[in-house]
């Protein structure tokens, strides 16, 4: 599995900030892709089946928002070497 965690985000998005803060607190490295700075990133979000942000991706799994599914992504990231 690809271990890279990607957070699709935008400046000023409170939920996005919460996701990034949580990942940082858990010690999980991640890449931020700002959908406002690069329209291609919005297209990537849509390919995962979402219109809004935040979207957090690890491998082929994507979740939207700040919720229990995000915790599942965090657990996946912690388990993978």
Q: Where are the domains of the chain?
A: 5-79
With a cut of 50, say whether residue 2 has pLDDT above it.
no
Which DSSP symbol is given to 44?
H
Map residue 4 onto helix, strand or coil. Answer: coil
- CB of 57 closer than 8 Å to CB of 47: no
Q: What is the pLDDT of residues 5-56, one digit of tens each?
A: 999 999 999 999 999 999 999 999 999 999 999 999 999 999 999 999 999 9
Q: Could you tell me the pTM of the whole model?
A: 0.91
CATH 3.40.30.10 fits 5-79, yes or no: yes
């Amino acid at each position: 599995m690809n271990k890279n965690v990607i957070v699709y985000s935008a400046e000023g998005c409170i939920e996005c900030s919460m996701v990034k803060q949580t990942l940082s607190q858990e010690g999980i490295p991640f890449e931020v892709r700002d959908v406002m700075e690069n329209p291609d990133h919005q297209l990537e979000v849509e390919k995962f089946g979402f219109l809004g942000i935040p979207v957090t991706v690890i491998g082929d799994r994507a979740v939207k928002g700040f919720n229990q599914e995000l915790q599942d992504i965090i657990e996946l990231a912690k388990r993978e070497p």
